[in-house]
């Protein structure tokens, strides 16, 4: 069974999902292991079905709609709305990312100029850090000087 671990979903993740679903319920270890096995079977079942649907549509790659159709066909149509919702969310997030990167491109600043500005910012940051370090060093020196003078006043 131990070798199968790589082919199974991680126990911890399944445990977490069970806990989220039934927070106050005690679930035996044996039952948890079984649920892990059931997930395997579920994935195989839906994958095979989705693969068949994919082939019927003369496609080479299994697309999300094949998975959703497989779910419906196997009696898991209740899962479809939520799956569709997260897929849509995925698309929105991906779109935002693309828009975000194109915003940078649309600034109209050529790359060399952007690089120059970046170098300038680095130099400024380095300078600032240098000044801060110098300040710290000066302060440290002053404190040392104070200590030395106060020690000199005390009898050794």
| Tokens standing for residue 81 | 């709305």
List the one residue from 1, 2, 3, 21 that touches another protein (CB under 8 A): 21
Of 43-51, 103-111, 128-136, 142-150, which part binds another protein (CB under 8 A)? 43-51
- CA separation for the pair 35, 20 (Å, rounded): 15
DSSP structure class, residue 24 = T
Interface size with another protein, residues (CB under 8 A): 58
- Residue number with CB closer to another protein (93 or 115): 93
Contact indicator for 50, 67 with CB cutoff of 8 Å: yes
Q: In which region does residue 108 sit, left (phi positive, over 0), alpha (psi from -120 to 50) or beta (all else)? A: left
Contact indicator for 8, 44 with CB cutoff of 8 Å: no
- Residue number with CB closer to another protein (44 or 146): 44
- Residue number with CB closer to another protein (90 or 115): 90
Residue 79 as a binder of another protein (CB under 8 A): the answer is yes
Instruction: Give the other-Cβ count within 10 Å of 66's Cβ.
Output: 22
Residue 11 as a binder of another protein (CB under 8 A): the answer is no
Smallest gap from residue 22 Cβ to another protein (A):
6
Residue 44 as a binder of another protein (CB under 8 A): the answer is yes
List the one residue from 78, 148, 151, 156 that touches another protein (CB under 8 A): 78
Which contacts qualify for 129-134: CB closer than 8 Å, 24 or more apart? Answer: none
- CA separation for the pair 55, 61 (Å, rounded): 9
Footprint of another protein (CB under 8 A): 6-10, 13-14, 16-18, 20-22, 25-28, 30-31, 34-35, 37-48, 50-51, 60-64, 66-68, 71, 74-76, 78-79, 82-83, 86-87, 89-90, 93-94, 97
């Amino acid at each position: 069974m131990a070798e199968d671990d790589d082919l199974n979903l991680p126990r911890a993740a399944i445990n977490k999902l069970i806990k989220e679903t039934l927070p106050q319920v005690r679930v035996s270890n044996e039952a948890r292991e079984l649920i892990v096995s059931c997930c395997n079977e579920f994935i195989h079942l839906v994958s095979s079905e989705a693969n068949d649907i994919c082939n019927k549509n003369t496609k080479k790659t299994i697309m999300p709609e094949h998975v959703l159709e497989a779910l419906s066909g196997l009696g898991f149509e209740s899962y479809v709305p939520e799956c569709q919702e997260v897929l849509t969310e995925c698309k929105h997030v991906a779109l935002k990312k693309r828009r975000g990167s194109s915003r940078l491109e649309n600034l109209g600043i050529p790359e060399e100029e952007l690089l120059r500005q970046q170098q300038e910012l680095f130099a400024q940051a380095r300078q600032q850090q240098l000044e801060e370090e110098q300040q710290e060093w000066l302060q440290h020196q002053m404190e040392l000087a104070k200590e030395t003078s106060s020690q000199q006043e005390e009898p050794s």
